[in-house]
Amino acid sequence: MAKYANQIDYRLPRNAVLQRDSSKRKRITQCRTRLLFVGLVFCMSYILLVVRLFDVAFTGAEEQNFVERPTVTTSSKLPVMRADILDRNGELLAGSIHTRSLFANPKLVQRFGVEKTVQALQNILPDLDADRLRSKLNSNRSFVYIKRHLTPSQQEQTNSLGIPGLEFEEAQKRLYPLGSLFAHILGYVDIDNNGIAGVEKYFDNLLRKGEEPLVLSVDARIQHILHEEMCNGMVTYNAIGAVGIVMDIRNGEIIAMASLPDFDPNYPGRYAPETRFNRATYGLYEMGSIFKTFTTAMALHYGTAKLKTGYDARNPIKVGRYTIRDAHPQKRWLTVPEIFVHSSNIGTVKMVMEVGKERQKDFLRKLGLFEKLQLELPETATPITPKKWRDINMMTISYGHGISVTPLHLVRAVASLLGEGKLLQPTLIKGGNILTENNQQLIAKDIVYDLRKLMRAVVRHGTGRKADAAGYRVGGKTGTAEKVKSGNYAASDKLASFVGIFPSEDPKYAILVMLDEPKGNKQTYGYATGGWVAAPVVANIVSRMAPLYGIQPVYELHDVDDELEFHEVNYQQNIQRQIVKNYVHTATF
């Protein structure tokens, strides 16, 4: 071992100490650097904190506000609000407001005490039924509605009760600020905001999307006038119901439409079911003499009569067991204008006999009187027409009996004949219709002018005198129909109506007013006919509505119907008419 001991060099390398020294120093330097690093990091952090502290203490005051605000439910969670419905001038007819509904978790409420809760809630919501509420809160369910649509103050008070288990649900409520004014047009919604009648139902899907408001063609001001005058008429003549329609003849837009009795769509449940019936579009009525407008139009259109043609109206027409008489018998030969002005059934029947069944049917069909009414309402009806069109049907239909149509059917047909002579499509939407070349021309323009003259003559010289509104040249036709009661015509129960146009020389609006079972009074000498009870209502409406629309009154001596001849009969023609007379007597029915 010793042998090798000397060979071992125990010396350190020459630079060993130096080496060890430098590595030590290196490590110390490293440590210092690290310390510095750490120190710096801490320093920076402290500086950061200090800066942030200053930031929060002095400048961050406003931001703090945002943070402290109670969290509000974001809009994305909200239900889409049902779209508004506006009238043609932008008046709000139906709108949705945001509400909250109160519901309870009975299990939680039971722990707090049902009786205490009921008492507390009754102070805030006095219309709650205590017994029902108690049984609701004692139930085993975990969700019961207590009250839908709380007012903001009720909400606040309930919230401040602090009763566990009482909670709010976001909801919306449909409001109709104008009340019953547009009841039958707008319809109403159920408690879950589903449209179940009227425009609300027809446009339910569109309204649900909550995008653009729906703009109707109706005018709230005119609707008010119509509604008020109809109410007055109903009260004055003690009627059981009324219908009123104002239509723009130029484009078929419905400016106003009301059916009485009506209801408040805010509380449809509070009204009798029959008030929800829209007589204007869903009620089918035999409209009576207004149909003479169509008979006269078809006679002129098919050329079977001219304005100067005369008919023998001396004797009632006997048809089987029926006798057709005149309400205002003139007992002489009558010209076409005279038949129209005096509303002679006999003359009208003789006119239609020359036209014939098939052409009569064809003409009435073209006027849209056989088909279901196309309108933006779910409540529209299909007219009732005779299954077999016999001669007696032809005769009675010529003066408006034996065919039942809705009042809107009638206004549409009259407006079509007296406007452009083209079939109009009624609409409830503003700008919903544009009369185009495609609209079928029903009658020639000169026959339109003749009809305007005839209607004006009715108001100036005939049954519709009470419809005249000074300066506005109302033209029109009266109608008085006996109502069918238990299979027979009831002479005492009448439908009195008047359809008017104004101004006659260039009609802009067609107005129909119909009173159901009016009773005559002292002022009407006991009469309850269209001319006595419905015509004055139309006059009132026109004289209030026309100044609103800035329609210029005209007080000139010349009038549209001046060239019509009365009390003059071309007797030569009448000899030819004898054929008709014979036909009446020999025809078998």
Q: Can 289 be counted among the known catalytic residues?
A: yes
| Window 146-175: residues binding another protein (CB under 8 A) | 175
Question: Which of residues 196 and 470 has its CB atom nearest to another protein in the complex?
Answer: 470
Q: 506 to each of 88, 110, 377, 475, 502, how far by Cα in Å?
A: 23, 74, 30, 11, 7
| Window 237-276: residues binding another protein (CB under 8 A) | none
Is residue 508 near another protein by the rule CB under 8 A?
no
Cα atoms in the 13 Å half-sphere on the side-chain side of 442: 27
The DSSP string of 362-424 is HHHHHTT-SSPP--SSS---PPB--SS--HHHHHHHHTT-S-BB-HHHHHHHHHHHHTTSB--
> Torsions phi, psi of 76, nearest 5?
-65, -25
d(Cα 534, Cα 518) in Å, to the nearest integer?
9
Could you give the maximum distance between any two Cα atoms of the chain, in Å? 175
List 25, 26, 27, 98, residue binding another protein (CB under 8 A): 98
Is residue 48 near another protein by the rule CB under 8 A?
yes
| Window 447-506: residues binding another protein (CB under 8 A) | 469-472
List 6, 7, 73, 486, residue binding another protein (CB under 8 A): 73
Instruction: Give the range of 348-356, 416-424, 435-443, 548-556 binding another protein by CB under 8 A.
Output: 548-556
d(Cα 25, Cα 203) in Å, to the nearest integer?
90
**Triad 278, 377, 495: Cα angle to 5°:** 30
Query: 93 near 182, Cβ under 8 Å?
Result: yes
**Least CB distance from residue 225 to another protein, whole Å?**
8
Is residue 54 near another protein by the rule CB under 8 A?
no
| Window 25-44: residues binding another protein (CB under 8 A) | 33, 37, 40-41, 44
Query: 268 near 276, Cβ under 8 Å?
Result: yes
The residue whose two tokens read 């009661």 is: 485
**Least CB distance from residue 492 to another protein, whole Å?**
34
Instruction: Give the range of 62-70, 106-114, 429-437, 528-536 binding another protein by CB under 8 A.
Output: 62-70
Cα atoms in the 13 Å half-sphere on the side-chain side of 364: 31
Which of 217, 289, 344, 504 is catalytic? The answer is 289
Instruction: Give the range of 69-77, 323-331, 398-406, 526-534 binding another protein by CB under 8 A.
Output: 69-77
Question: What's the DSSP call for residue 56?
Answer: I
Contacts of 185 (CB under 8 A, 6+ apart): 198, 199, 216, 218, 257, 377, 428
Is residue 95 near another protein by the rule CB under 8 A?
yes
List 118, 543, 564, 577, residue binding another protein (CB under 8 A): 543
**Least CB distance from residue 199 to another protein, whole Å?**
17
Contact residues for another protein, defined by CB under 8 A = 33, 37, 40-41, 44, 48, 63, 66-67, 69, 71-75, 78, 81, 91-93, 95-98, 175, 177-179, 181, 220-221, 223-224, 228, 469-472, 543-544, 546-548, 550, 552-553
Active site residues: 289
